[in-house]
Chains A and B, each alone.
Chain A
Amino acid sequence: MNWLKGFWLKIGIIIIAIFGLSAPVPAEEEKIKELEEKVEILAEEIEKMKVFELIPELGKEGRYGFGPAASKVYGIGKGISLAGYGEIFARFFDKNEQFNFNPSSATDTLTHLRDDSDMLRFVIYAGYKFTDSIVFNSEIEFEHAKTSAGPDTSAGEVSVEFAYLDFLTHPAFNIRGGLLLIPVGIVNELHESPTYHGVFRPETEQVIIPTTWRENGVGIFGEIVPGLEYRLYTVAGLVTNSRSTTGNATLKFTHDSGIRGGRQQGVRSITEDMAYTARVDYRGIPGTLVGASIYTGNAHLPAGNNLPDTSVGITLWDAHLKAEYQGFELRALYASGEIDDAQEINKRANIRLASDTTVDGRWSERSIGEKFYGYYVEGAYDVIPLFWPGSIRYFAPFVRYEKYDTQDGVPSGYRDLSETEREVKTVGISFKPHPNINIKADYQAKDDFLSDQYNLGLSWMF
């Protein structure tokens, strides 16, 4: 009987089809029209769901120079936002020992180098959007995994790297106050490890520009015309040495690590001396960012060696460029600094003049540099688009050359230590299986008195 059912059904369809084609019954024509209309409505509803219901009221939020993870708070609606980044490395030294001239003892000292691996940074960003125009953002960083010391190593630390409130008043004029990142160089504000090549930050941006550099302050920022961004802050100044009313002061600024030790980092910052810092970036040409920044003001010079509290002027500026074309990437930075009356700092730590015959003349090589500079040029090429266009993966070999000197000039009467002028050549790869994960490997060739090293790194942000 089943075949019979099928047979009659087929006949029925044929009859309907014939009648339908030759002379459709008005009721059926209407039905088709009705169906077509329903399909149209469905398509419209689907489009509405897929497209038009996703269009919110768009705010006028800019990017203001921060790294992608750090700026997450700007993108959310009201409430809490959470983001983060981290990096872990392993490094292997070419030589297990290196001789360094140590001006503090006027002798060569032997440093033992041991291969090591460190959970260098683990960072949580927490932000809160009070209203569309009042935003809080912060970064809490764990360095070296633990705050207690290892068997033979120094302790890690937990710090608030930045914590500030933004009052967004106008795209071109907004106010920011709190613990701020000093807007100098490329890496200081954009310091998430996946965003740069190399397991370690360029040394110029560790020593000459002391990243991660932050200080309590207040300022304004915004975008004047599309692509032209600025920031202008007033912050607590640097401190050159620790205060000593009885004997010699211990230096925070040093001959070979520059101003790095002088950062107060918002820890009970002395505000007797203030500094001003400004930055301008232009993103007008697609794929490029070109900009410059300056940090200028007074550094606090506490008492030491029976000399009173005073202050010295300090200025550090940089010019930077980032460019991308097809798979090519270029990064270049030049930074230069100057300290007025650097001999005043030397005096408080009792660094003798080269002419002082009571001590070894080489002691004067400990002098603070009154001028310092650093630069690097870096090129990379992402090969993935050659083979897999449209892939989100990234594999780029890169090379970087850099040179810096923390003692490009010393105050008259002091000697210059030649070993503070350093050259670093880095060659390596960045592999990103996802744009926010960077697996790195590189080789760094350093000056003869230092050891070359191989580095491996794993970094992420979210």
Chain B
Amino acid sequence: MKKGLLFFLYFIIAFTWPASLLAKVYVTKEEALKFAFQEVDTIDKKVVFLSGEEQKRVELLAKAKLDTRIFTFYIGKKGENILGYAVFGSHVVRTKPEVYMVVINPDATIKNVHILAFHEPEEYLPPRRWFEQFVGRVLDDALWPKRGIRAVSGATLSVNGITQEIRKALAVFQLMLLKER
């Protein structure tokens, strides 16, 4: 009886608890870029337009189909020194999009990968630590889930999707920007 009463009280407290509002995060392009290049003086922009031929070469290198032929690279510079390249993009995970930023070092290795928005239930989003394994990686045959990249159970579509997006960004960078320099 006593326990029953306690249970009842617990219920009352729980259901009348003031539910405070959640902290909100809003990431703008400027904030993301500031985050990508922490010590730069200037950020230049380079828009890459792929011809049909270039598209084919990128797809061959990335082993993934492109759904856009325009890529905007943000180039972080300190003096004349290039610190890195950031590219933004989005892809549909199941039915809803995910927005990401890939930051590439001048030597074509990955500096880091950030998810800026995720419209699917968060269950499908790999934890932040998962993205850290891309740091320092290059575009090769190991850069695939369950090969050199760990899978996340319950997040196959986002894991496969984002890996392909990263491969595409690296391929465009290698063929269009690295060659130019």
Interface residues of A (CB under 8 A from B): 39-40, 43-44, 46-47, 50-52, 54-63, 66-68, 71-72, 74-76, 131-134, 165, 167-170, 175, 177, 195, 218, 226-227, 234, 271-274, 283-284, 286-287, 322, 324-327, 329, 382, 384-385, 389-392, 394, 435
Tell me if B35 is interfacial: C-beta within 8 Å of chain A: no
Q: Give A274 to B8 CA distance when docked, in angstroms.
A: 12
With both beta carbons as reference points, the residue of chain B lying nearest to A76 in the complex is identified as: B121
> Which of B7, B15, B21, B27 touches A234 (beta carbons < 8 Å)?
B7
The stretch among B36-44, B50-58, B75-83, B124-132 that forms the contact with chain A is B124-132
With both beta carbons as reference points, the residue of chain A lying nearest to B27 in the complex is identified as: A55
Residues of B within 8 A of A287 (CB): 150-152
With both beta carbons as reference points, the residue of chain A lying nearest to B158 in the complex is identified as: A435
Given contacts A50-B90, A167-B17, whether A274 and B3 have CB atoms under 8 Å apart is yes
Q: Are A72 and B121 in contact (CB under 8 A)?
A: yes
Q: Give A392 to B93 CA distance when docked, in angstroms.
A: 11
Q: Give A47 to B164 CA distance when docked, in angstroms.
A: 19
Q: Give A242 to B19 CA distance when docked, in angstroms.
A: 41
Which of B22, B120, B141, B144 has the largest count of A CB atoms less than 10 A from its CB? Answer: B22
Q: Are B72 and A43 in contact (CB under 8 A)?
A: yes
Q: What's the least CB distance linking B151 to chain A, in Å?
A: 6
Interface residue ranges of B62-119 to A (CB < 8 Å):
63-64, 68, 70, 72, 88-90, 97, 99, 116-119
Q: Give A40 to B150 CA distance when docked, in angstroms.
A: 38
Residues of A within 8 A of B122 (CB): 61-63, 71, 74-75
With both beta carbons as reference points, the residue of chain A lying nearest to B120 in the complex is identified as: A75
Q: Are A226 and B90 in contact (CB under 8 A)?
A: no
Q: What's the least CB distance linking A178 to chain B, in Å?
A: 10
Residues of B within 8 A of A283 (CB): 127
> Which of B14, B20, B90, B152 touches A218 (beta carbons < 8 Å)?
B14
Q: Are A226 and B128 in contact (CB under 8 A)?
A: yes
Residues of B within 8 A of A435 (CB): 154, 156-157
Q: Give A71 to B11 CA distance when docked, in angstroms.
A: 23
Residues of A within 8 A of B152 (CB): 286-287, 324
> Which of B19, B150, B154, B160 touches A68 (beta carbons < 8 Å)?
B154
Q: Are B4 and A286 in contact (CB under 8 A)?
A: no
- The count of A-to-B residue pairs whose CB atoms sit within 8 angstroms is 175
Q: Give A271 to B47 CA distance when docked, in angstroms.
A: 67
- Beyond the given A132-B21, A170-B20, could you list 20 further A-B residue pairs with CB under 8 A, ordered by the A residue number? A43-B47, A47-B70, A57-B24, A58-B117, A58-B118, A75-B120, A165-B15, A168-B19, A271-B4, A272-B1, A286-B130, A286-B152, A287-B151, A324-B151, A325-B150, A382-B151, A389-B141, A390-B64, A390-B160, A394-B156
Q: Give A47 to B3 CA distance when docked, in angstroms.
A: 60
Q: Are B157 and A392 in contact (CB under 8 A)?
A: yes
Residues of B within 8 A of A52 (CB): 28-29, 88, 99
Residues of A within 8 A of B70 (CB): 43, 46-47
With both beta carbons as reference points, the residue of chain B lying nearest to A44 in the complex is identified as: B72
Q: What's the least CB distance linking B43 to chain A, in Å?
A: 14
With both beta carbons as reference points, the residue of chain A lying nearest to B89 in the complex is identified as: A51
Q: Are B22 and A177 in contact (CB under 8 A)?
A: no
Q: Give A46 to B49 CA distance when docked, in angstroms.
A: 12
Q: What's the least CB distance linking A71 to chain B, in Å?
A: 5
Q: Give A9 to B64 CA distance when docked, in angstroms.
A: 42
Given contacts A58-B24, A324-B151, whether A382 and B128 have CB atoms under 8 Å apart is no
Q: Are A392 and B160 in contact (CB under 8 A)?
A: yes
With both beta carbons as reference points, the residue of chain B lying nearest to A274 in the complex is identified as: B3
* Cβ contacts A to B, 22 pairs, < 8 Å: A47-B70, A52-B99, A55-B26, A55-B117, A59-B22, A67-B123, A68-B124, A71-B122, A72-B121, A132-B21, A133-B20, A165-B15, A168-B22, A169-B19, A169-B20, A170-B20, A175-B17, A272-B3, A287-B152, A324-B150, A326-B146, A326-B147
Q: Give A133 to B118 CA distance when docked, in angstroms.
A: 19
With both beta carbons as reference points, the residue of chain A lying nearest to B24 in the complex is identified as: A57
Q: Are B22 and A54 in contact (CB under 8 A)?
A: no
Q: Give A132 to B21 CA distance when docked, in angstroms.
A: 8
Residues of B within 8 A of A68 (CB): 121, 123-124, 154
Q: Are B146 and A218 in contact (CB under 8 A)?
A: no
Q: What's the least CB distance linking B149 to chain A, in Å?
A: 9
> Which of B14, B28, B120, B133 touches A175 (beta carbons < 8 Å)?
B14
Given contacts A51-B90, A54-B97, A57-B25, whether A385 and B120 have CB atoms under 8 Å apart is no
With both beta carbons as reference points, the residue of chain A lying nearest to B128 in the complex is identified as: A226
Residues of A within 8 A of B153 (CB): 195, 322, 324, 329
Q: Are B20 and A390 in contact (CB under 8 A)?
A: no
Given contacts A58-B25, A168-B22, A272-B4, whether A227 and B154 have CB atoms under 8 Å apart is no
Q: Are B128 and A133 in contact (CB under 8 A)?
A: no
Tell me if B174 is interfacial: C-beta within 8 Å of chain A: no
